[in-house]
Structure 1
Amino acid sequence: MNTLNNYIKVGITILFIGLLAACKRDAESTLNLSADVDVLSFKVGNTIGKVDQAKGTILVMVPEGTDLSAVAPTIELPSNAKVSPASGIAQNFSFSSTTPITYRVFNGNLFNTYQVTVKEIKAEITAFRIGEKAGIIDQKNKSIKIYLPLGTDLKNLSPVIEFTAGASITPNQSGPVDLSSPIKYSLAYMGQTFQYTVTALLGTEPKQILMIYNGETSVPHFDGLGVSTVDSPYPNPKTTGINATPFCASFVRDNKTGEGWHGGALWNANKVTINPAEYGSFSMMVLKDVAGDVQLEIQSDGEQNKDWLRANYSKDHVGEWQELVFQIPAGRKAIINNILVMPHEHPNGQPVVFPTQRMYWDELKALPKE
């Protein structure tokens, strides 16, 4: 009887081993570890992107003026592969220069990840100097003004120009130019042309608007006031209105603990130096979901000589950017070193009349006196 039981046990063991082997062979037959998961091409319109398989990146340089908020790329893949997001599905690439969009290619039991950036082709003149005088460059309107001393011979000038690496410039810098009337400089770059108009003026240069914060080229750090952090740069949630720049400053305002002074501060390592004898006001873009006063508190270093400037964010602009102007008191003489931004000001201790929400500000400027 024991012998029979032993035979049965041995038989069951052999059967079990056979089933395991069959399952393993079946799993091995369906496991595909040799599938191709490389993007073959990535196109935006007629522009073919540069695919770096080693780094897992894709860069597409599109013509200036392309709407990056709704780009539907055409993606070529190996046989049986799929990609997410899918080919032909529009994505917002407006912020992909700093935050690339992730694409994943799936095939068999494998996948591959790519970080995709779509950027406009752009070449810029970044500096224009004649002797010790520097030109005032307006990148938006592609214009340059340079103020030179009275008596300067405008017909025989030799400017020094800095511009985007890889571009070529006309006229070149090998000889003198005649600036007695405005002239045009052209940058050729990646098959496109970018043209600037340069104007020379005789006399003293007027005080210019001082850009303090714009989210892109001027991005000092805001310390949080009553909040853990101020997010900057933060994606602009409303680029279709009067403030079309890609980034701004933002923080979440808590309706339970949101006293009137909550916001962001430029001080200490990020303090400014603004003379009220030269500048008469500030302007700033604001966006929020509730109407009400916005306040700038200005101080001298060490939190001295304080003034509180207010402007009203109106009901008509709720959910949209509104440019507010804050007048510096006419009698102020103390230098302004600290600027405290309070997007929704109300007396401390009073009920807060809005739900917890994210607030935004941008384009903080000091405006010269006229």
Structure 2
Amino acid sequence: MRTLKYNIGLGLMLLFIGLFSACKQDVGSPLDLNADVDIVSFKVGTAIGTIDQQKGSISVLVPAGTDLSALAPVIALPSEARVSPTSGLAQNFSFSSTTPVTYRVYNGNLYNTYQVTVKEIKAEITAFRIGDRSGLIDQQNKQIKIYLPLGTDLKSLTPSVEFTSGASIAPGLGGFVNLNSPVKYTLTYMGQTFQYTVTAILGEEPKQVQTIYNGETVVPHFDGLGVSGVDSPYANPKTKGANTTPFCASFIRDAETGAGWHGGALWNANKVNINPAAYNRFSIMVLKDVEGDVQLEIQSDGEQNKDWLRARYVKAHVGEWQELIFEVPAGRTANINNILVMPHEHPNGQPVAFPTQRMYWDELKALPKE
């Protein structure tokens, strides 16, 4: 009897295991770990991208003057693969040189990520010197201004010029140039030409606005003050209005525990070096949901020689980008190395209360004395 019961029990157990196994095979599917997730080709118009499969990067050079804000790449993929964003969908590549656009390929149980950069074919003059004087280069307008000492003979100058490797330049290097009137320099590169106008000015060079952070081309890291971290670059939530650039800095401020000094700091590896004798003001763009004071705390290295600068984010333009100006105390002589940004300097939301919210700042600049 015992043997009969054992055999019956064993048979039932084997039957259950067989049914469970069959059920699993019906519901599930085997893992596909051999699917191809490599992009085959990436084209923007007639320009073919260079694909680095090992690094997961794609770079595309398009003709000068191409509008990078709405390009629709055509992407060739392996069989059964799909890509996001999809092939043919327009994307903004205007700032991909510093913030590449991410594409991800899916196939089976695998995926692969690519960072895509699209740049215009471009040749640039990167430095223009005469003696110990360096020219101020406006790359957007292709203008170069160089300030030379009073009494300089402008008829026979020998500039030193640095420019994009592989390009040719005219006038050629090593010869004399007459800068009594503006001179045009022409770069030829990859079948295209780029022209700069060089102007010499006798006298001392005025101080220039110093960009400390702009979210696109100047993006030092902000350390979080009282917050887990500062998000940068972060997508600009309002590109219509006073600040049209695509990226900014941002963090979430807590209404209950957020102290007034919470914000972001540029110091240590990202410190600046600003002489208050030459720069006596700062400007910054701020966007938030409530009015109130914004504070910049300036320090010398080692958190010494502190000053607290305030400006008002006004009620009339709440929810919009506002450019605020901060005056450096007239008696300050110590260099400025650390800059701390506090978008809402009201401890725990008092006396100006606010809800927990995401705050934004951008375009931090040092302004020269007028």
TM-score tier after normalising by the smaller chain length: 0.7 to 0.9
Alignment of 1:333-352 (within 5 A): 333-347=333-347, 350=350
Deviation at 1:200, TM superposition (A): 0.7
Specify the alignment match of 2:143 in structure 1: 143
Letter in 2 for 1:368: P
Q: How far, CA to CA, are the matches of 1:254 and 1:39 in structure 2?
A: 43
Specify the alignment match of 2:180 in structure 1: 180
Q: How far, CA to CA, are the matches of 2:353 and 2:342 in structure 1?
A: 16
Letter in 1 for 2:130: I
Q: How far, CA to CA, are the matches of 1:274 and 1:140 in structure 2?
A: 25
Specify the alignment match of 1:213 in structure 2: 213
Deviation at 1:41, TM superposition (A): 3.2
Specify the alignment match of 1:3 in structure 2: none
Change (3 A) 1:126 1:360: farther
Deviation at 1:88, TM superposition (A): 1.7
Deviation at 1:136, TM superposition (A): 1.4
The answer (yes or no) to whether the contact 1:183–1:199 under 8 Å persists in 2 is yes
The answer (yes or no) to whether the contact 2:256–2:348 under 8 Å persists in 1 is no
Specify the alignment match of 1:230 in structure 2: 230
Alpha-carbon deviations, 1:42-91, whole Å to 9, x = none?
22233332234555433222344544443322223456654333222233
Specify the alignment match of 2:13 in structure 1: none
Q: How far, CA to CA, are the matches of 1:288 and 1:276 in structure 2?
A: 29
Change (3 A) 1:92 1:174: same
Deviation at 1:99, TM superposition (A): 4.8
Structure 1 residue 118 corresponds to structure 2 residue 118: yes
Q: How far, CA to CA, are the matches of 1:80 and 1:34 in structure 2?
A: 12
Specify the alignment match of 2:128 in structure 1: 128
The answer (yes or no) to whether the contact 1:255–1:352 under 8 Å persists in 2 is no
Specify the alignment match of 2:357 in structure 1: 357
Q: How far, CA to CA, are the matches of 2:208 and 2:187 in structure 1?
A: 26
Specify the alignment match of 2:200 in structure 1: 200
Change (3 A) 1:225 1:151: same
Q: How far, CA to CA, are the matches of 1:213 and 1:32 in structure 2?
A: 46
List runs of 5+ in structure 1 lacking aligned partners: 1-25
Q: How far, CA to CA, are the matches of 2:109 and 2:350 in structure 1?
A: 60
Letter in 1 for 2:311: A
Deviation at 1:180, TM superposition (A): 1.0
Number of equivalent positions: 365
The answer (yes or no) to whether the contact 1:39–1:76 under 8 Å persists in 2 is yes
Deviation at 1:315, TM superposition (A): 4.1
Q: Secondary structure at the match of 1:162?
A: strand
Letter in 1 for 2:368: P
TM-score for both structures, normalised by structure 1: 0.79
The answer (yes or no) to whether the contact 2:271–2:337 under 8 Å persists in 1 is yes
Specify the alignment match of 1:260 in structure 2: 260
Deviation at 1:343, TM superposition (A): 1.2
Q: How far, CA to CA, are the matches of 1:285 and 1:157 in structure 2?
A: 42
Q: How far, CA to CA, are the matches of 1:124 and 1:345 in structure 2?
A: 43
Q: Secondary structure at the match of 1:277?
A: coil
Deviation at 1:155, TM superposition (A): 1.4
Q: How far, CA to CA, are the matches of 1:229 and 1:170 in structure 2?
A: 49
List runs of 5+ in structure 2 lacking aligned partners: 1-25
Change (3 A) 1:62 1:352: farther
Alpha-carbon deviations, 1:106-138, whole Å to 9, x = none?
567876654433233333222111111111122
Specify the alignment match of 1:48 in structure 2: 48
Identity %: 78
Alignment of 1:315-334 (within 5 A): 315-334=315-334
Q: Secondary structure at the match of 2:137?
A: strand
Deviation at 1:239, TM superposition (A): 4.4
Q: How far, CA to CA, are the matches of 1:222 and 1:253 in structure 2?
A: 15
Change (3 A) 1:284 1:52: same
Change (3 A) 1:33 1:365: closer
Specify the alignment match of 2:14 in structure 1: none
Specify the alignment match of 2:60 in structure 1: 60
Letter in 1 for 2:182: P
Specify the alignment match of 1:274 in structure 2: 274
Letter in 2 for 1:309: L
Deviation at 1:198, TM superposition (A): 1.2
TM-score for both structures, normalised by structure 2: 0.79
The answer (yes or no) to whether the contact 1:95–1:235 under 8 Å persists in 2 is no
Structure 1 residue 156 corresponds to structure 2 residue 149: no
Q: How far, CA to CA, are the matches of 1:83 and 1:130 in structure 2?
A: 52
**RMSD of aligned Cα (Å):** 4.2
The answer (yes or no) to whether the contact 1:103–1:115 under 8 Å persists in 2 is yes
Deviation at 1:154, TM superposition (A): 0.9
The answer (yes or no) to whether the contact 2:98–2:216 under 8 Å persists in 1 is no
Deviation at 1:270, TM superposition (A): 4.1
Q: Secondary structure at the match of 2:90?
A: coil
Query: Quick check: 136-145 or 94-103, which moved more?
Result: 94-103
Q: How far, CA to CA, are the matches of 2:31 and 2:337 in structure 1?
A: 66
The answer (yes or no) to whether the contact 1:297–1:309 under 8 Å persists in 2 is yes
Q: How far, CA to CA, are the matches of 1:326 and 1:72 in structure 2?
A: 43
Q: How far, CA to CA, are the matches of 1:57 and 1:230 in structure 2?
A: 26
Q: How far, CA to CA, are the matches of 1:166 and 1:51 in structure 2?
A: 22
Q: How far, CA to CA, are the matches of 1:163 and 1:140 in structure 2?
A: 15
